[in-house]
């Protein structure tokens, strides 16, 4: 039967290059035997001595890494900052592009359904996972190349310092977030007439939203207002500095869409009564939806005003 | 982290480089892994076996140590000996150690 020492030596050699194994085995066995003898001489039973010596030597994988000169970490301090920076850029660029591309492909395909939202979200999550995994794997491999072969981004110099961030300036992340949000809402509005869980007797989808929006063309005005609302963050990102006039102008653009929404809710033009009847909503359901929309609209206006005041003060 | 760990951490940091110098000095007379470990421990250089054994091979690869299998006894052992290059490095590290000692003493005596 294999002794503890046999098992220990075998476990260590598994992590050592083939060419070095014989020599390391011979030396390691001698060292372990010497240590056991020394303990036995001072009174331990040989079984106890073996356990104590092997315990002191510790995890054989760690010892093997020492022999093979392998790092015991995935990505070391030299590459870690490059890794984090690259990962951040790749995520911010690739995930939105992939999501939008899939969304467009879905819309071009035959009649849209609710599945499309799931497909887009699924694509975003899968893409993010792939980007994170492959970037991490590449850097883990780089870490294990001989030092000279590493493509490093070069020595840091003060030239690489970023500009001081101006307070109140919109960051690229915030800009992408707001743009994606508006794109999602506009897409939902455009799809609403065809995208519905309920069908009428003829098999056509019943729009959740009030048909007046399409009869009057108001929905296009609403879309226009939403897109115009993006002028503020884009200006903020591009210009970076605010003046009192710019802050007021941005606020006007930002409150336009919420005001339109509040007006629609107040005049009961949000929910299609035919849809409410089809899904047998309680009679005051539409009223509560209108109230919620008004509350959200008021919060939106309040937020825009607070932002405007801050921008005007901090310019 | 309590105070004991803090002190132990700083002590370990301070002693980290001294093991190599101690090995190069001890191995001016050929010796094998376990005996060296024992000598280092007696000399007050606490080093773990799983650090020392790979370290000896690294120093040999760098040309600072030479090794030879001794098969005269019933248990064959790998004996290491400091090479000429290793002796030169030991002299250099030793001088640096003396300089540091002087520098630290100067700092201590002139508050």
Q: DSSP letter string over B70-84?
A: E-SSSS-EEEEEE-H
Contact B76 A66 (CB under 8 A): no
Question: How would residue A109 be classed by pLDDT, with cut points 50, 70 and 90?
Answer: low
Minimal CA–CA distance to A270: which of A250, A254, A288, A253? A288
Question: From the list A31, A38, A69, which residue is nearest B53 (CB)?
Answer: A31
Chain B residue numbers with beta carbons less than 8 Å from the beta carbon of A66 are 50-51, 53-55
CB-CB contact of A106 with A112 (8 Å): yes
Crossing angle of the two packed helices A115-143 and A77-108, in degrees rounded to 10: 160
Q: Using CA atoms, how far apart are residues A206 and A251, in angstroms rounded to an integer?
A: 36
* φ, ψ dihedrals at A15, nearest 5°: -100, 15
Task: Report the pLDDT value the prediction gives residue A137, as an integer from 0 to 100.
Answer: 95
Chain A residue numbers with beta carbons less than 8 Å from the beta carbon of B49 are 31, 35, 56-57
Mean pLDDT calculated for residue range A232-242: 72
Task: Report the pLDDT value the prediction gives residue B62, as an integer from 0 to 100.
Answer: 94
Q: Using CA atoms, how far apart are residues A288 and A291, in angstroms rounded to an integer?
A: 5
Of the listed ranges A17-31, A110-124, A182-196, the least confidently predicted one is: A110-124
ipTM for the predicted complex comes to 0.87
* % of chain A residues with pLDDT over 70: 90
Q: Using CA atoms, how far apart are residues B36 and A38, in angstroms rounded to an integer?
A: 13
At residue A32, does pLDDT exceed 70?
A: yes
Minimal CA–CA distance to A208: which of A265, A112, A277? A277
Task: Report the pLDDT value the prediction gives residue A186, as an integer from 0 to 100.
Answer: 83
Which of A200-209, A276-285, A297-306, B92-101 tops mean pLDDT?
B92-101
**Cα dihedral value A129, A132, A134, A136, nearest 10:** -140
Chain A residue numbers with beta carbons less than 8 Å from the beta carbon of B31 are none
Mean pLDDT calculated for residue range A285-300: 88
At residue A167, does pLDDT exceed 70?
A: no
Task: Report the pLDDT value the prediction gives residue A94, as an integer from 0 to 100.
Answer: 85
Contact A34 B50 (CB under 8 A): no
Q: What strands, in cross-sheet order, belong to the sheet with B31-32?
A: B31-32, B77-82, B65-70
Contact B76 A30 (CB under 8 A): yes
Question: How would residue A169 be classed by pLDDT, with cut points 50, 70 and 90?
Answer: low
At residue B109, does pLDDT exceed 70?
A: yes
Interface size between A and B, measured as CB pairs under 8 A: 55
Task: Report the pLDDT value the prediction gives residue B12, as an integer from 0 to 100.
Answer: 83
CB-CB contact of A231 with A284 (8 Å): no
Mean pLDDT calculated for residue range A182-201: 79
Task: Report the pLDDT value the prediction gives residue A314, as an integer from 0 to 100.
Answer: 67
Minimum distance, in Å, between the CA of residue B44 and any CA atom of chain A: 18
Q: Is the dihedral angle over the CA atoms A89, A91, A94, A100 positive or is it negative? A: negative
The contacts of residue A246 (CB under 8 Å, 6+ apart) are A235, A239, A311
CB-CB contact of A169 with A310 (8 Å): no
- DSSP assignment letter at A272: -
Task: Report the pLDDT value the prediction gives residue A114, as an integer from 0 to 100.
Answer: 60
Q: Could you tell me which residue, A167 or A19, shows the higher pLDDT? A: A19
Q: In chain A, whose CA is at the least distance from the CA of B76?
A: A30
Task: Report the pLDDT value the prediction gives residue A149, as an integer from 0 to 100.
Answer: 59
Q: Supply the mean pLDDT for chain A.
A: 83
Task: Report the pLDDT value the prediction gives residue B105, as an integer from 0 to 100.
Answer: 93
**Chain A CB within 8 Å of residue B35 CB:** yes
Question: From the list B32, B35, B49, which residue is nearest A56 (CB)?
Answer: B49
* % of chain A residues with pLDDT over 90: 24
Contact B48 A56 (CB under 8 A): yes
User: What are the C-alpha distances in Å from A152 to residues A78, A133, A143, A162?
Assistant: 9, 20, 11, 20
Alpha-helix residue ranges (DSSP H) falling in A58-164? 60-68, 77-108, 115-143
Chain A residue numbers with beta carbons less than 8 Å from the beta carbon of B54 are 63, 66-67, 69
Mean pLDDT calculated for residue range A210-229: 86
Contact A69 B77 (CB under 8 A): no
Instruction: Classify residue A46 as left (phi > 0), alpha (psi -120 to 50) or beta.
Output: alpha
Instruction: Name the pTM for this structure.
Output: 0.62
In B71-100, the residues whose Cβ lies within 8 Å of chain A are 75-78
Question: How would residue B65 be classed by pLDDT, with cut points 50, 70 and 90?
Answer: very high
Minimal CA–CA distance to B80: which of B19, B26, B27? B27
Task: Report the pLDDT value the prediction gives residue A152, as an integer from 0 to 100.
Answer: 62
At residue A166, does pLDDT exceed 70?
A: no
Task: Report the pLDDT value the prediction gives residue A102, as an integer from 0 to 100.
Answer: 80
Tens digit of pLDDT for each residue in B29-61?
A: 999 999 999 999 888 887 899 999 999 999 999
**Chain A CB within 8 Å of residue B62 CB:** no
The tokens 């870690």 sit on which residue? A80
Q: Could you tell me which residue, A77 or A174, shows the higher pLDDT? A: A77
Task: Report the pLDDT value the prediction gives residue B44, as an integer from 0 to 100.
Answer: 83
Task: Report the pLDDT value the prediction gives residue A30, as an integer from 0 to 100.
Answer: 93
């Amino acid at each position: 039967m294999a002794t503890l020492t046999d098992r220990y030596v075998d476990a260590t050699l598994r992590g050592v290059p083939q060419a070095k194994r014989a020599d390391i085995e011979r030396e390691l066995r001698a060292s372990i035997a010497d240590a056991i003898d020394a303990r036995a001489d001072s009174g331990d039973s040989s079984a106890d001595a073996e356990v104590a010596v092997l315990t002191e030597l510790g995890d054989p994988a760690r010892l093997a890494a020492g022999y093979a000169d392998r790092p015991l970490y995935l990505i070391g301090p030299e590459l870690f900052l490059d890794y984090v920076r690259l990962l951040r850029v790749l995520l911010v660029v690739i995930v939105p592009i992939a999501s939008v591309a899939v969304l467009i492909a879905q819309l071009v395909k035959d009649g849209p359904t609710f599945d499309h939202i799931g497909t887009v979200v699924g694509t975003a999550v899968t893409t993010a996972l792939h980007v994170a995994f492959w970037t991490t794997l590449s850097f883990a491999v780089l870490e294990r190349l001989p030092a000279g072969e590493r493509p490093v981004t070069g020595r840091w110099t003060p030239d690489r310092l970023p500009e001081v961030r101006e307070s109140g300036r919109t960051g690229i992340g915030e800009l992408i977030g707001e743009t994606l949000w508006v794109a999602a809402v506009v897409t939902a509005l455009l799809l609403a007439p065809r995208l519905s869980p309920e069908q009428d007797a003829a098999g056509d989808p019943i729009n959740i939203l009030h048909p007046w929006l399409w009869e009057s063309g108001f929905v296009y005005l609403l879309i226009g207002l939403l897109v115009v609302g993006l002028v503020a963050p884009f200006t903020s990102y591009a210009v970076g500095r605010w003046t009192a006039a710019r802050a007021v102008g941005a606020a006007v653009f930002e409150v336009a869409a919420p005001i339109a929404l509040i007006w629609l809710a107040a005049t009961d033009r949000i929910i299609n009564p035919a849809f409410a009847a089809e899904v047998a909503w309680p009679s005051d359901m539409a009223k509560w939806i209108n109230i919620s929309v008004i509350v959200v609209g008021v919060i939106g206006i309040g937020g825009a005003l607070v932002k405007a005041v801050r921008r005007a003060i901090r310019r | 982290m309590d105070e004991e760990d803090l002190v132990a951490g700083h002590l370990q940091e301070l002693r980290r480089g001294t093991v190599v110098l101690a090995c190069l000095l001890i191995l001016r007379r050929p010796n094998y892994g376990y005996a060296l470990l024992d000598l280092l421990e007696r000399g007050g250089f606490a080093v773990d076996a799983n650090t020392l054994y790979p370290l000896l091979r690294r120093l040999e690869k760098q040309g600072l140590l030479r090794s030879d299998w001794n098969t005269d006894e019933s248990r064959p052992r790998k004996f290491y000996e400091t090479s000429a290059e290793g002796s030169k490095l030991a002299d250099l590290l030793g001088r640096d150690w003396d300089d540091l000692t002087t520098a630290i003493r100067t700092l201590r005596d002139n508050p």
